[in-house]
Amino acid sequence: MTSDHDMLWRRCALLGRVLLPLVDQEPRRQARRRETLRARGIDTATDERMIEIFAALAAHAVVLDASLSATEFDALPLKDVADAATGKRDYELLAGLPDGFADDRDGQAVNVFRLYTYKGGQYGHRLLLLSRELRYALNILAERTPTPSRTCGDVFHRAAEAACPSDHGHLTS
């Protein structure tokens, strides 16, 4: 049986996975993000995955701080996740993670995030740039799209409607 904490992480990881595909429904958004990343010398494929895991970590930190359960996750405001992405220290986002991850890719990405956090220097700077990109993406979904998504649940509903890929089946479960 899956614990509430594991289920909570899965919801956070799913938010990260559907975030960029939803933002990229406006083609100029993807082009802008990739141009910005390339201009800063950042590999787009790798660091788009880092943005996904950053979103999961930020959402997870907010949920833990608010003592929410996995069933309450959908009501989490995107603004709170955006604030955590740029307002919390990188190492604070690593607190309270599950002991293991059902998806090995999540575990690998968290380990890369952890490495970037503790190496500091250029890696810390990269995390700062990625946190800004994440905040921008969350703000687009929360405020600037024709159909605003104010909560994590709104994002899941939009992703299901748009048939965004998710590796975990149903988005609204």
Percentage of the chain beyond pLDDT 90 is 55
Nearest 5°: the CA angle 125, 16, 153 is 135
Domain that residue 9 falls in: 4-161
Q: Quick check: 146 pLDDT over 80? A: no
Is residue 121 left, alpha or beta, with left meaning phi > 0 and alpha meaning psi from -120 to 50?
left
- Single-letter residue type at 8: L
Residue 90 falls inside a structural domain:
yes
Q: Band the pLDDT of 46: cuts 50, 70, 90.
A: confident
pLDDT of residue 138: 94
Residue 73 falls inside a structural domain:
yes
Residue 48 falls inside a structural domain:
yes
Residue 38 falls inside a structural domain:
yes
- Single-letter residue type at 68: L
Residue 169 falls inside a structural domain:
no
Residue 42 falls inside a structural domain:
yes
Average confidence score pLDDT of the chain = 87
List the structure tokens of 172. 């609204």
Q: What is the mean pLDDT of residues 11-15?
A: 95
Q: Quick check: 114 pLDDT over 90? A: yes
Q: Quick check: 173 pLDDT over 60? A: no
53 versus 40: which is more confidently predicted? 53
Specify whether the CB–CB gap between 90 and 46 falls below 8 A: no
Instruction: Give residue for tokens 């930020």.
Output: 58
pLDDT of residue 149: 79
Please tell me the total count of domains within the chain. Answer: 1
